Structure 1
């Protein structure tokens, strides 16, 4: 029964969510590649041995593979699923056949085809957020202080109950979500909080404290906190409704927040303000999928949007074997007027593969350590 619970509660939601995101990502590559005249030989959800599939009229093999941890589109003339050119095989192609390969396409078509995957993930996230905002609206609370926690950064700065936060480092805020989002990724970083008190504006300097909190599922998360209790936590909030156009705009904004927050987190890792143990791999994603499933379909869909942005950003990392690495190669080609040699590309792909595998091992180790702890 325990095994059955793990399968239905964690694995199935995880596989469904990840497969959707991978399908959208690879479909971006596929559609733009086909539009560019590049032949596609395989479209796979998952890696490893094929479980089921079919070949369409264009010669593309559509398949489900055994290991559901990603997927790929393989173009004609590629050596493997990472779209590394088959330098030896390309020599024996006719000019007409070479024009149907990724390596033989014009530079801008190659760049568009590669970039289409991450872009599709960002667009999916925007669409998901827009639909959620249109259907459910958004629960918000005004950034008014209900209580100040003792010995907190806000208490030290002189914040008082009834104060209204109106700006952070000069950027206007509208809801307490804006405050939480801004402060949480800035532990131990001085910020200036502009408040309104009895009709007067005051600028208060404070440093968010690095704090480990435990969410409703028992997961430990480290973030910056200033020690303000809001009306939302006191049960006072409202639901904002959006028209379809407004919902799309909010979807773009929400996606942008995730992108900027991710870059800020990476910067915090580099500077030592955040721990690397927050990086999660497939085990943590599966755990999160199962936990969100207990909250309902809307929570799972929202998680899918966040993960979609993460997949798009991950693939844009300038690492060979990832989409970002290919785009770096194309940028170098545009500057040099010719592509890097096959030998240099082969070495770069091997290094890139080692980097990706190392990151996966590290993230999985974090997952296991988190579960044990």
Structure 2
């Protein structure tokens, strides 16, 4: 059951993962001098919006991602043509506002007919007013006003396409990279919270089990099994037990500081090989070095598993029931949040890593595809036709939305079926 605390943790989970990704795009775009028009969390209708500096920050209805809208990525704001009647607001001889409609009864504007305008390179305007042609400079942060909405103009040097291939690639790659950074920080945090396993200890022994018959006791630390050192992980022990049904195994345990040797014979219970013990890890507090080392190895193992999942997806080695959408992710996130803080943070780390890796796939509309276009541009020495690239990304986005609908429908069916 989702308590208010769990619901808050689910919302925080999505907000942090998406925000850190989009912040990566935003920060490096700003460093490159690109005008960032909007920083959005979610898609669809706006729920909340405010403007700070040159950027509008919005929270949107559908919590399935986010975006950073940079000047020049899409067709720029409404173009002004010679012969068009507009109104301008001035600061001395510099245009600060270009007003395109509802000019009637406006006394704060100079209204006239455009003779020449360049708001990308020359930043110059010639307008005929009261029978005379006046020449003005246009402020590089001038606002264009149409249908009661203001949009800042974007001179060519503030547009995405004017930057070097390296600057654009960095602005795109920074999103997934920030997810990797967050994942690593979270994996390290989990190590600090849970400590470092030193050895495998028996937490309990089942009645009439092979373990009880062999003389194993709760509190015994398992040191060796069949001359194999067990160490801090229970995985080698489990593997040895599974490979030894109805076979005598030589166990060496530490019991209150004394070495005890025992013979244990696992039983085969309908294909399940058991000895009848509950295992726990005997842990100590993690040092900084422990946290970095274990956090990195955990992240590497998780990355390999994610890549294996991508491989299975590409090869079609999955069923529709294996795929999960937003509903499934919310459900699983709620389960991890209910399991305690370390489990919740671990799941957030996994999902942050997954989000970063997924976005680097060379699929249209994803960051990986956009980087691929930039690599192609660097090789051929000129960019791909922006209209063609936009069409490719649009088709890719539409396909992703169709997949999202399909997996969400599958999620709902599975919930109904229990």
| TM-score of the aligned structures, taking structure 2 as reference length | 0.63
Higher helix share: 1
- Residue 379 of structure 2 is matched in structure 1 by 335
Whether 1:290 and 2:334 are equivalent positions in the alignment is yes
**1:68-217 matches, cutoff 5 A:** 68-79=63-74, 93-94=120-121, 97-139=155-197, 162-163=225-226, 175-176=233-234
Structure 1 pair 240–260 and aligned structure 2 pair: CA distance change class (3 A): farther
Instruction: For 2:403 and 2:324, locate their aligned partners in 1 and report how far apart those are by CA, in whole Å.
Output: 10
- Residue 129 of structure 2 is matched in structure 1 by none
What is the aligned-residue RMSD (CA, Å)? Answer: 3.6
Aligned residues of 1:9 and 1:290 also touching (Cα < 8 A) = no
Structure 1 pair 108–129 and aligned structure 2 pair: CA distance change class (3 A): same
Alpha-carbon offset, residue 11 of structure 1: 4.6
Task: Note the residue ranges of structure 2 that are not aligned, 5 or more in a row.
Answer: 80-117, 123-139, 141-154, 211-223, 240-248, 252-270
Alpha-carbon offset, residue 311 of structure 1: 0.8
How many residue pairs get matched? 302
**Structure whose alpha-carbon radius of gyration is higher:** 2
Given candidates 57, 60, 65, the residue that maps to 2:55 is 60
Instruction: For 1:248 and 1:315, locate their aligned partners in 2 and report how far apart those are by CA, in whole Å.
Output: 25
Alpha-carbon offset, residue 350 of structure 1: 2.7
Whether 1:19 and 2:15 are equivalent positions in the alignment is yes
Instruction: For 1:288 and 1:342, locate their aligned partners in 2 and report how far apart those are by CA, in whole Å.
Output: 40
Whether 1:8 and 2:4 are equivalent positions in the alignment is yes
Instruction: For 1:48 and 1:32, locate their aligned partners in 2 and report how far apart those are by CA, in whole Å.
Output: 25
Aligned residues of 1:87 and 1:342 also touching (Cα < 8 A) = no
Whether 1:361 and 2:417 are equivalent positions in the alignment is no
Alpha-carbon offset, residue 163 of structure 1: 4.2
Instruction: For 1:252 and 1:16, locate their aligned partners in 2 and report how far apart those are by CA, in whole Å.
Output: 24
Relative CO higher for 1 or 2, CA cutoff 8 Å, sep ≥ 6? 1
What SS does structure 2 have at the residue aligned with 1:93?
Answer: coil
Instruction: For 1:179 and 1:66, locate their aligned partners in 2 and report how far apart those are by CA, in whole Å.
Output: 49
- Residue 301 of structure 1 is matched in structure 2 by 345
Aligned residues of 1:143 and 1:175 also touching (Cα < 8 A) = no
Instruction: For 2:412 and 2:227, locate their aligned partners in 1 and report how far apart those are by CA, in whole Å.
Output: 42
- Residue 114 of structure 2 is matched in structure 1 by none
Higher strand share: 2
| TM-score of the aligned structures, taking structure 1 as reference length | 0.70
Aligned residues of 2:45 and 2:61 also touching (Cα < 8 A) = yes
Structure 1 pair 42–350 and aligned structure 2 pair: CA distance change class (3 A): closer
Instruction: For 1:166 and 1:266, locate their aligned partners in 2 and report how far apart those are by CA, in whole Å.
Output: 35
- String of CA shifts for 1:243-266, please: whole Å, max 9, x gaps: 123312322222221111011123
